[in-house]
Amino acid sequence: MPIPNQLPHDFEWGFATAAYQIEGAVDKDGRGKSIWDTFCHLEPSRTKGANGDIACDHYNRYEEDLDLLSAYGAQAYRFSISWSRVIPLGGRNDPVNEAGIAFYNRLIDSLIARGVTPWVTLYHWDLPQALHDRYGGWLNVEESQQDFERYARLCFERFGDRVKNWITLNEPWIVSIFGYATGINAPGRSSINKDASEGDTSTEPWIVGKSLIMSHARAVRLYNREFRASQKGVIGISLNGDYYEPWNAEDDRDKAAAERRMQFHIGWFANPILLAKDYPECMREQLGERLPQFSADEFSLLREAEVDFYGMNYYTAQFARHRSGPPSETDFLGNVDELQENSDGVSIGERSGVHWLRSCPDKFRKHLTRIYRLYQKPIYVTENGCPCPGEDKMTRDEAVRDTYRIKYFETHLDAIAQAINQDAAVVKGYFAWSLLDNLEWSDGFGVRFGVTYTDYDTLERTPKLSARVLKQLFEERMGRQAQKLCQEQDSRAYQSESPKPRM
């Protein structure tokens, strides 16, 4: 009899990180500045006084961190490459930094030596500052995609003999909206944020979105044309997006608002990238000429840039309530209100240690099923995790007993199993966010998402209970199927090696 909530025997799991959040060593061995180096040193601070100058010092302590992966039983590790560490000035005609290449070679080789599969994200928000200064970075659609393609080529050439799993971009929605609409992330451009001195929220995020879409497409087309046959890898993208329920389940306007919000959140990127289609119709209707057009040649490129999987970053869900008036020029949500309680005052889920995240595993299952139904690509959950309530104020000894996180992981793994076994969604893997407590971008070092406690004064790492329990959860959910598979493989091997009877 099958065990409840079992996962496929070949389900892949591990942990995820991002370069700027953990590496540190920002001026070591020839690394150039990124937009996050600049943003974190603005005065007054936009990151609660924190910066990534040292972060978790992963650049110097990576062997220690990879030992944690081994101890936790991880099969895979998702990390990002710092663009400005390998091409300090970022551009297609700029020199390569061999010391930066050597660091990632050491990291990749150390993972493989431990039996851990590397998953590489090319871009996790840290654009080289030189490109932003040179032509506006992502605000220049033509220049940015050419430079990103050259950067991708360098990575495929230098690492692709060992790296077989590629993610082009992490969360282009966050890059576009938080960087160029609200201005709470680097480079901090906004016309609605009092702390921002530059930017146009009504136009810039949509330009940046197109730059990211076309840069992704260039990298995938390049891989498909020149590297796939010899390297035999896979390539995809990681998109973030909450799941939305109608604020009033009986109101058709709120039902439409929930769907519209997901189209503005996910369809914006998923429709062109996964379907080679135009942006969702609701976006065209609201944004008009502010939403860039795709040319016939660009659609041709998108069709050629077929991906292998959908990387899903999921943390929480929300309620969507329609707005009765017309949208403002700076609206980027789809003319809806986002709420954590519905019209009856019922919470979307249990509160976590950060205001925007509530635990909603039932909505996660719906999200997985919806995304697979719409885009028909195998899903890898490339980020999922949470901070515990009050964890930012706990001592180390208190923080390592992270029972809330354990429950979050357990219920969300159950949701994956239900989506697979009952809803016929194809979900192939899971990466917990994050391996370490780290720099949580504009939230600084307060919010802790790691399964490993980081002491930011001593940089000592201490495993939390969730790290051990997560390993146990996967062993329980995959154990019987994995055992059966091994038995079948052993049987086939025995039969093939047994002497054949003479005729």
Q: What residues act catalytically? A: 171, 383
Name the nearest CA neighbour of 461 among 112, 104, 17: 17
Residue 187: cis peptide before it, omega within 30 degrees of 0: yes
Q: Is 201 helix (H, G, I), strand (E, B) or coil?
A: coil
The sign of the torsion formed by the CA atoms of 71, 74, 75, 76 equals: negative
CA angle, 311 as apex, 307 and 316 as ends, to 5°?
Answer: 150
What 3-state class would DSSP assign to 169? Answer: strand
Three-state DSSP string of 304-367: HCCCCEEEEECCCEEEEEECCCCCCCCCCCCCEEEECECCCCCECCEECCCCCCEECHHHHHHH
User: What is the rounded CA–CA span in Å between residue 20 and residue 40?
Assistant: 11
* Rounded Cα–Cα distance for residues 204 and 120 (Å): 28
Contacts of 218 (CB under 8 A, 6+ apart): 145, 146, 148, 149, 152, 301, 305
For the beta carbon of residue 497, count every other beta carbon within 10 angstroms. 7
Q: How far apart (Å, rounded) are the C-alpha atoms in residues 211 and 180? A: 13
d(CA 137, CA 406): 40
Peptide bond into 4 cis (omega under 30): no
How many residues are present in the chain?
Answer: 503
244 contacts 318 by C-beta, under 8 angstroms: yes
Name the burial class of residue 457, with classes exposed (0-12), middle (13-18) and buried (19+) by CB atoms within 10 angstroms of its CB: exposed
